[in-house]
Amino acid sequence: MASRVMVRMAPALKGRRGPLTLTQAAVQRLKELQTNCAPEEQNKTLKIGIQGKGCSGNAYTLSWVAEPKKFDEKVTQDGVTVLIDSKALLTLIGTEMDWFEGKLASQFVFNNPNIKGACGCGESFLV
Three-state DSSP class for residue 68: coil
CA distance 93 to 13: 15
Which pTM was predicted? Answer: 0.77
SS3 33: helix
Per-residue pLDDT of 8-52, as tens digits, reads 433 444 445 678 889 999 999 999 988 888 787 778 889 998 887
Q: For residue range 44-86, what is the model confidence (pLDDT) as tens digits? A: 889 998 887 766 677 788 889 988 888 988 998 898 999 999 8
Nearest of 55, 43, 41, 50 to residue 20 by alpha carbon: 50
Contact call for residues 123 and 108 (beta carbons, < 8 A): no
Is 123 in a helix, a strand, or coil?
coil
Cα angle for residues 13, 69, 118 (degrees, 5° grid) = 65
Burial label, 77 (beta-carbon count in 10 A; 0-12, 13-18, 19+): middle
First-residue to last-residue Cα distance in the chain: 37
